Amino acid sequence: MTKSEHSSDPALGAPFAALRDALHASNTPPAVEQALMDAFARRFAPRRWYHALSPRQWGVAGGVGTTALVAAMSLMLSLSAPPPADQQAAPAIDEGAEFIALESAERIEQEADAQLVRTNVPRAALASLGVPVTPQNAGEAVRAEMLVGADGAPLALRLVSLP
């Protein structure tokens, strides 16, 4: 019902006026509301976001974070770790294979009179390059091409075949 409907009914005008006067007398003064709001603000001051957690909760969060970090680092290290020496694959062996540098790249580049020499190399001497060596085949020879400097020092090696 709207105000115009109430004012058209003269029987309700007097009771509504009495009700308005009674309610107006029971209203709280504005100063009381402001005093309550100030007291509440003093009692429950706003806190920074990091104060919302208790020290125990921060400890749990730190422990979980540290555990996750250690697990991630362990996983990364286990995935990137090279396989043990006995499981390393032998270098690719074919005519188009890459040379294995025995000297530094600078030394090889500086060599003006390098020669390519075909030779047989004992398998045991190639163990440090990752060629698999067992007691049964340690005495066998492997055909290889060597890049030799003018002074006779080997610069690089390419395996041609493994028996």
Domain identity same for 74 and 94 = no
Of 78, 105, 127, the residue that ends a domain is: 78
Q: Which of 113, 106, 97, 96 is nearest to 147 (CA)?
A: 113
Does residue 26 sit within a domain? yes
Q: Which of 106, 102, 98 is nearest to 148 (CA)?
A: 102
Amino acid 61 reads: A
Domain identity same for 64 and 102 = no
Does residue 21 sit within a domain? yes
Does residue 5 sit within a domain? no
Domain identity same for 99 and 154 = yes
Does residue 3 sit within a domain? no
Residue 159 burial class via C-beta count within 10 angstroms: exposed 0-12, middle 13-18, buried 19 and up: buried
Domain identity same for 114 and 131 = yes
Query: Phi, psi at residue 156, to the nearest 5°?
Result: -150, 160
Does residue 144 sit within a domain? yes
Does residue 45 sit within a domain? yes
**Tens-place pLDDT, residues 47-74:** 787 777 888 988 999 999 999 999 999 8
Write down the pLDDT at residue 24: 78
Domain identity same for 56 and 118 = no
Residues in the chain predicted with pLDDT less than 50, given as ranges, are: 6, 88, 90-94
| Rounded Cα distance, 126 and 79, in Å | 27
Query: Phi, psi at residue 18, to the nearest 5°?
Result: -65, -40
Write down the pLDDT at residue 85: 55
Of 53, 78, 103, the residue that ends a domain is: 78
- Residue 131 belongs to domain spanning: 87-161
Write down the pLDDT at residue 92: 44
Write down the pLDDT at residue 136: 82
Structural domain count, the chain = 2
114 C-beta neighbours (distance < 10 Å), count: 16
Does residue 55 sit within a domain? yes
Does residue 136 sit within a domain? yes
Of 47, 78, 109, the residue that ends a domain is: 78
Strand partners, 93: none
Q: Contacts by 122-127 with C-beta closer than 8 Å and gap 24+?
A: 123/162, 126/159
Q: Is 42 left (phi over 0), alpha (psi -120 to 50) or beta?
A: alpha
Domain identity same for 20 and 49 = yes
